[in-house]
Copies of this chain bind each other. A is one copy, B any other.
Amino acid sequence: MHLMNLEKENYYLEQEYLSDIELYYSQKISGDNIELSGDESKHAARVMRHIIGDKLHVTDGQGNYFQTLISEISDNSISARIQNRKNYKNDLENIIFCFPRLKSNDRFEFEIEKSIELGITNFVIFNSSRTIPKGEKLERWNKIALAAMKQSLRTYLPNIKYLNSFEKIKSFEGNKIILEQKGNDSIINFLRLVKDKLLSEKFYFIFGPEGGLSQNELNLISDCKKLTLTPNRLRAETAVIATATVISLL
């Protein structure tokens, strides 16, 4: 999954700074040709002022990385020829983060962005009784997801689903984990124990809003494993980001 491993070789070969790499996104691939359109093409041509012959790093958001050379630039698209390709595995494909929108939209968007930078690729955003902003903004969230994937040089475009009723979480099949201060085991111990199962079973990590899930909601998911992160009280978004960190270091 780590694009860096490939990039590291390039780094030594070409003296190119890793931090300067721009990753582009396109699903328009046919044979050895890849086409960038929309914002991706605009950014490469107008902001980065790339010209024919320049190297572009591209991902299809489905695990594939392409090293390409620009062969054509038009008003709204860029064609590039694939020189090199590599497929990455998504080690965290069975991990799903489930959390509600937060009162503070900034904090909510921050927790999505940080989780993605740290490698989480599946999200379920739900309405909970104590959540104040309801409803979905999937277009905006997907934009944040795309930017965070490119920023962290990852090759999996995160999948964000919206659930208008918390009750549906009950029917999800797999391991359900709820993070709370009074959890009866530490998440680190738990992850060590289940590490081998991560490739074959689904793991739903469920987080509450600022005031926590309501008792009714907790009753609905009473089969959840209750885990704790630290003995200190963490804000809703901090618990999400810290859990993503722990998972990213597995």
Query: A interface vs B, CB < 8 Å?
Result: 2-5, 8, 11, 18-19, 21, 106, 110, 114, 117-119, 151-154, 181-182, 188, 211-212, 229-235, 238, 241-242, 245-246, 248-249
Contacts and interface: CB of A to CB of B under 8 A. Distances in A.
Contacts of A153: 232-233
9 nearest CB pairs, A to B:
A4-B231, A245-B245, A2-B231, A242-B245, A152-B232, A153-B233, A117-B238, A152-B233, A230-B248
Nearest to A11: B182
A114 to B, nearest CB: 6
Contact of A188 (B18, B117, B249): B249
Contacts of A238: 114, 117-118
Contacts of A248: 230, 232, 242
B18 A118 contact: no
Nearest to A21: B233
Contacts of A119: 230, 232
Nearest to A229: B249
Given A18-B181, A19-B212, A4 B242 contact: no
A211 B181 contact: no
Contact of A230 (B118, B182, B235): B118
27 contacts: A2-B231, A4-B181, A4-B232, A8-B182, A8-B231, A11-B182, A18-B233, A19-B211, A114-B241, A117-B232, A117-B234, A117-B238, A118-B234, A119-B230, A152-B232, A152-B233, A152-B235, A153-B233, A154-B232, A188-B249, A230-B248, A230-B249, A232-B248, A241-B241, A242-B245, A242-B248, A245-B246
